[in-house]
Each structure stands twice: as C-alpha cells, then as structure tokens.
A = this chain, B = another copy of it.
C-alpha cells in the first residue's frame, strides 16, 4: 500500500513482454480475445509479481466501483445495527454482494438528520448504487428519496417502499397479511378476546400490523375493543405495562398478539409473574421469528419474515438496475410472503 512501491500493470506488461493493453484483456477476459500463450505469460507475471489491480484506477476509468451503500435510515442511528432487522438485512446484503464480488459500505442515518453529508457521498462517485431501509413515510423520508433521485444513483428500497412518485424499486413483505393470518389463527382457536400490543407507532410496520389485526377481527365478525389495543414502544417495560393493564379488564384477553417477538418475551414474563400459564391460560403470538423464537420454552408461535430473501432480492434488483445502462427500467414492487409458524405459545 504505502512504503513499498506499488506493482502496476506496467510492471506486469514488462515482465511478460507484452503491452499494458494485453494485461488488461487477460485480466478482464476481454473485451478483445487473447491468445492462450500470451494469456499464460501474463498470468505467470501476475503471479510472480503478486500483482493486484487498483480498484481506484479501474473505478475512475470505468466509472464503476462494485461498492454498494446500505443506508439505514432510522430514528436512532446509534442503535441501528443492534436492531434485529438491520443486522439481518445487512448480513444478507453483504453475503449476496460478496458472492457477486461487490462490497458494502454502511451508512447509518437519523431520520430528519441533515442530508448534506449523504449527498456528498452519493455524488462522489464512490457507490454504484444504494439500498435504503425505510421504516416510515414522513416528509423526512420523502426528502431523503428526493435527494437520492436527484443524484441519479441507482437505488432500491427495503421494507417500506418509498412514495410511488419516486419510482424506486422496492422489496418488502406482507406485513398486514401476516397480522391477519396470526389473528385469524387465534380466532379459529376459539379466542374472542384478543389483545394487541402495538410497537412504536411511528414505524409503519407497527401500524400495518395493527391494521391486519383489525381486518381479521372484522373479517371473522369479532368485536373490536380498543381497550385490547395498547402500547407505543418496542421496550419490554411497555409490553409488561400493557399486559398488566389488559389483564385487569373485566373481560381480559384470552390471547395476546404482539407486534414483535421481543415484545412477546416480556408479555410472557409478565403473564407468568401473574401466575398465568402460556399457552394454557393465555395464548401468545409474536411477529418476526427472531433467532431466539425457537430457543424459548415453549418456542414462539409467530410470523416469519423472510429478511434474508428480502436482502437477496434487493441486491438482485439493484445489480440489475445498475447493469441496464439506461437505468430507467420500470420500478418493481416486490412483496414477499410471510409465513405463520405455529409453535408452542398458541
């Protein structure tokens, strides 16, 4: 890198006794054919010198770096990667991109934060494209999307599609369908008093799941009781408080549907503290299917989100977008199905 003089393709060319162009053709398998014999000479020289091309020089020349940005746009950027969603998606993106010889540059950002720094990055030419995880649809998010549009950097949204007018491709999952199915399951089990623990309602996902819950009630003719809907946070304390409150109702719930698995753990904890058994006294269903869901006793009945597949699809769409030169390929909105997983808590 430093100190040592860098080996360039010129060194390789000299040693192999060919032109620099030839070296390039060999390395890239084109765009011009090369004789096997020259090929061999070049390869040997490369090995001998331990030559490694400079991405910078190549990038400058071809205007492409094979680096993709992951923009995690969330309320608390300091917690961004400790969140199950972002961590799982980041992992999935990284793996998929690695298999395509691409790298991932992470860029956490607070919702509402100044967009200037990100714009500098996007306009710097460092990134071939970005995937941005969206969690809501406020004006701040619109502003972000607006800015990205202006930079002309290929972009795919994840989890929440941006406003349609931006025309970005997006891959999300069937949040409402999952909530509908989970609730329907509980109804089918004979439950008529079903509590719903909302997550932080600033998140679109929390609202969509609530909508699915409500739609299921209506669909099956079960009365909606707002006393059975509670919470506005992803924190354990909030879930416990909600449970405590609900169970004091004259007609307490016989089942509880929580907007996330981590919420469910607290729900169960509080239920047990009150001496109630899960699922015998109160059935519980979660959402997410986090890793620990199968580890708990009993294992969680929940809704599986295909986060890994989401990351993979996002990568595929993005790479596609980048390759179709006039990247005006129609925006694709993919909504992956979720899967209700019946395990031990309901």
Whether, in the assembled complex, A25 has its beta carbon less than 8 Å from a beta carbon of chain B, the answer is: no
Complex A-B: 6 CB contacts under 8 Å: A3-B152, A79-B91, A91-B108, A103-B121, A106-B106, A236-B295
- Contact in complex: B88, A82 (CB < 8 Å): yes
- Interface residues in A151-180 by Cβ distance below 8 A to B read 151-154
A121 to B53, CA, bound (A): 10
CB distance from A89 to the nearest CB of B (A): 9
Write out the residue numbers on chain B whose beta carbons fall within 8 Å of the beta carbon of A65. 56
Number of this chain's copies in the assembly equals 2
A235 to B291, CA, bound (A): 10
- Contact in complex: B292, A236 (CB < 8 Å): yes
- Contact in complex: A78, B91 (CB < 8 Å): yes
A6-B125, A60-B56 known; A91 vs B95 contact (CB < 8 Å):
no
A108 to B99, CA, bound (A): 12
- Contact in complex: A67, B4 (CB < 8 Å): no
Whether, in the assembled complex, A2 has its beta carbon less than 8 Å from a beta carbon of chain B, the answer is: yes
Contact of A52 among B6, B120, B292 (CB under 8 A): B120
- Contact in complex: B152, A327 (CB < 8 Å): no
Chain A window 99-124, contacts with chain B (Cβ cutoff 8 Å), 1 for yes, 0 for no: 00001111110000000010111111
